[in-house]
């Protein structure tokens, strides 16, 4: 069984995941750019039953996306890093920020979302582009 631990910058907020993510994607939307401070977000979706523990304190921020669904982001109140989030429309899953694993061998994203908001130089290769119409 694969056990992976994601944590915030200061380390007090941690999520322990077992099993493999069901989807790994990168998102170029402006909200992900704002949230991460980077030019795209990368997230791994796990089945909720594959999250073995969430430890530490977090503050949450909810945002309604273009789909009309609410996403609730959980971030460390000390260092501000978002570690995981929940989607109102998908209660059986938890999304975890891939960077929070600090593991360059983590499975690569297979899908790229919000291509139309992508910085031109942030060009993913070998990946399926999911266009929003």
Give the residue, chosen from 2, 10, 57, 116, that forms a contact with Zn ion under the rule CB under 5 A. 10
- In the complex, the smallest distance separating the C-beta of residue 1 from Zn ion, rounded to whole angstroms, is 27
108 binds Zn ion (CB under 5 A): no
78 binds Zn ion (CB under 5 A): yes
Main-chain phi, psi angles of 45, to 5 degrees? -100, 125
Main-chain phi, psi angles of 34, to 5 degrees? -65, -45
Whats the size of the chain, residue-wise?
133
Give the residue, chosen from 6, 8, 83, 94, that forms a contact with Zn ion under the rule CB under 5 A. 8
Give the residue, chosen from 6, 15, 27, 95, that forms a contact with Zn ion under the rule CB under 5 A. 27
Applying CB under 5 A, the site for Zn ion has a residue count of 8
- Write out the two tokens for 122: 């942030």
Q: Is the dihedral of CA 98, 50, 79, 32 positive or negative?
A: positive
77 or 107: whose CB is closer to Zn ion? Answer: 77
Provide CB contacts within 8 A for 124, sequence distance 6+: 26, 109, 112
Q: Applying CB under 5 A, which residues contact Zn ion?
A: 8, 10, 27, 29, 32, 76, 78-79
């Amino acid at each position: 069984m694969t056990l992976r631990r994601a944590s915030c910058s200061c380390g007090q907020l941690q999520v322990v995941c077992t099993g493999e993510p069901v989807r790994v994607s990168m998102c170029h939307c402006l909200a992900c750019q704002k949230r991460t401070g980077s030019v795209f977000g990368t997230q791994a979706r796990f089945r909720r039953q594959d999250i073995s523990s969430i430890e530490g304190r977090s503050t949450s921020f909810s945002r309604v996306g273009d789909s009309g669904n609410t996403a609730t982001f959980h971030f460390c109140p000390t260092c501000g890093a978002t570690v995981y989030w929940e989607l109102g429309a998908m209660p059986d899953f938890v999304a975890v920020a891939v960077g929070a694993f600090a593991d360059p061998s983590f499975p690569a994203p297979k899908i790229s979302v919000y291509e139309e908001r992508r910085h031109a130089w942030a060009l993913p290769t070998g990946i399926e582009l999911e266009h929003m119409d």
